[in-house]
A and B are shown apart, each in its own frame.
Chain A
Amino acid sequence: MEDRIEKRIELTVPVARVWRALTDYREFGTWFRVALEGPFVAGQEVRGRITYPGYEHLVMTVTVQSVQPEWLFSFTWHPYAIDPDTDYSSEPPTLVEFKLTPLPTGTMLVVTESGFAALPVHRRDEAFRMNTRGWSSQMENISQHVGQTR
């Protein structure tokens, strides 16, 4: 059983455009939904408040590992760090890597996240809680919408 996740996505824009969307902290924040406080610099930590609806009370911290222009951007973080009262800094982080390859039609982006095997026991439960909460807030949205249009 693999302790990593790999995602591939083809984008119809040049590598340079994707690179900017990944490594410009404001652009990253727009699609990732986090208000980062500063730029990505190799070896440095960046924090930012999550802007994803329902999770605005959370602060996300990443430690930039590698910035190799138009080829590799990577950081470590604590996945599912959803309890604002918990200090996750002592836990082993997972590594997130974005790799870019030019295609005739645009860009191939491969994202991997690895290192889940080292996560402590109790964190798995939080992952479930987060999914459950995600679903229940979706259901609330739907019921509100239905209530308004009735």
Chain B
Amino acid sequence: MSDRRVSAGAGRLDPAAVFAALGDPTRLSLVGKLSADPRLSISRLAEGSALTRQAVTKHLRVLENAGVVASERSGREILYSLEPAPIAEMRAYLDGISRQWDDALARLKAFVEE
């Protein structure tokens, strides 16, 4: 399972935290910006939105705690980038359960329609 681990330091993922982090429209828009343009500063992330730098910082902290984004220092700025693993992992988890339902419902259909 080592290939499923998040990047160094983040430790193991908490699905609840990932779901909660991605369940907010503002944070989802930040994730959207980061997926289009990796490594953005807080000012760049606040650009074109009604959010203050403080608000962006707060949302980034939630995303970082959930392991969804990582930060690094570059001179006087902190740059944020997306960690693709948690999102892919949650999607794979739901896909697995989803496939089981597809199989079960196909059996139900065959059973009632026979």
A residues engaging B (CB < 8 A)? Answer: 1, 3, 5, 7, 9, 11-13, 17-18, 21-22, 27, 30-33, 79-80, 109, 111, 113, 116-119, 121-125, 127-128, 130-131
Determine the distance from Cα of A122 to Cα of B4 in the docked complex, in whole angstroms: 12
Contact status of A7 and B101, CB under 8 A, knowing A17-B112, A131-B96: yes
Q: Are A5 and B111 in contact (CB under 8 A)?
A: no
Given A1-B22, A113-B97, the answer on whether A124 and B13 have CB atoms closer than 8 Å is: yes
Q: With a CB–CB cut-off of 8 A, which chain B residues contact A117? A: 15-16, 19-20, 23
When chains A and B are docked, how far (Å) is the Cα of A33 from the Cα of B110?
Answer: 13
Known: A80-B97, A113-B101. A124 touches B107 (CB 8 A): no
Given A116-B15, A117-B15, A121-B14, A31:B107 Cβ within 8 A: yes
Bound: A17/B109 CA distance, A: 11
Q: Given A111-B101, A119-B15, A121-B14, is A11 in contact with B93 using a C-beta cutoff of 8 Å? A: no
B105 at the interface (CB under 8 A from A): yes
A79-B97, A117-B19, A121-B14 known; A128-B112 Cβ under 8 A: no
Total chain B interface residues with beta-carbon distance under 8 A:
34
Q: How far apart sit A18 and B108, CA to CA, in the bound complex (Å)?
A: 9
Which of B38-46, B47-55, B84-92 contacts its partner?
B84-92
Q: Can you sample 21 A-B contacts with CB below 8 Å?
A: A1-B22, A1-B90, A9-B105, A11-B109, A11-B112, A11-B113, A27-B111, A31-B108, A31-B111, A33-B107, A79-B97, A80-B97, A109-B105, A109-B108, A117-B23, A118-B16, A119-B15, A121-B15, A125-B1, A128-B1, A128-B96
Knowing A12-B113, A121-B13 touch, does A1 contact B105 (C-beta < 8 A)?
Answer: no
